[in-house]
Amino acid sequence: MNSYLALHQTKDESVRDFVAEATTVCKTAAEGDLEQRICHLPEDPRFADLAIAINSLLDSTDAFVRESSATLAAASKGKFYRRFIVRGMPGSFRRGAIQINDASNEMAAQAETLEEAREHRDEAFLKLESLVSESNARVESTVAEISKILGGVTVLAINARIEASRAGEASAGFGVVASEIEKMAQRITKSTDRLTVEVSVFMEESKSILQSILAS
């Protein structure tokens, strides 16, 4: 503090101007404005060295801030080729730069893994979609077959009922059985109809779910 005051009060005008300029530059930098530099180099070589040292410190800091924000901004947009140029970055600045590049490489690797995972998922869903379609087709054909058989059973039951009524009292019980078979066939037909409707609703819903997942 004493030497600082002494410099402020010195009779040497160029030194006084230099101290004033250096003080302003350092204060602004401390407030986060890295734009200012000492633009008037004092003639006294000792002070000139100090001015260059202060400017160099600001240059390194300024460069580090510009480069790191540009590198990270590029990485966040997937432009991983934009590396932090490490050359010319001294000491801690270099270590920071290397760390940023490592992080960016890590992000690139993760982005790739994510892309692979997405491809796997898409493949799996496409398989699932065709599986659902296939099983729907199988259910439909099975239901069609059941309907055909039921048609046959119904005809048989009707014929049996007619034969029973011709045969009279003795085979009345047989007629009851025949009409029960007929009713049962009707009930099975209703159930398979419902099954067809339900399967097609299920099909449509699963298709739209799959599509919404694939589109995401």
Partner 1 sequence: MSASPALNRELLQEYRAVKPTGVERKLGPEEVIVSKTDTKGHITYANHVFCRIAGYTTEELMGAPHSIVRHPDMPRCVFKLLWDVISAGNEIFAYVKNMARNGDHYWVFAHVTPTFNAAGEIVGYHSNRRCPDRKAVELFEGLYKALRDIENSIPDRRIGLETSFNKVLEILESKGVSYDEFIFSVTPN
Q: Which of 9, 13, 30, 35 binds partner 1 (CB under 8 A)?
A: 35
Q: Quick one: 20 or 176, whose CB is closer to partner 1?
A: 20
Contact in structure between 58 and 37 (CB atoms under 8 Å): yes
Q: Which of 12, 14, 26, 55 binds partner 1 (CB under 8 A)?
A: 55
Q: Which of 7, 12, 28, 37 binds partner 1 (CB under 8 A)?
A: 37
Q: Quick one: 73 or 114, whose CB is closer to partner 1?
A: 73
Give least dist CB 15 to partner 1, A: 17
Per CB under 8 A, does 59 bind partner 1? yes
Q: How far is CA 27 from the centre of its chain?
A: 44
Question: Both ends of the chain: CA-CA distance in Å?
Answer: 64
Under rule CB under 8 A, which residues in 127-146 are in contact with partner 1? none
Contact in structure between 65 and 34 (CB atoms under 8 Å): yes
Alpha helices in the chain (DSSP H): 2-8, 13-30, 45-76, 91-167, 172-215
Per CB under 8 A, does 81 bind partner 1? yes
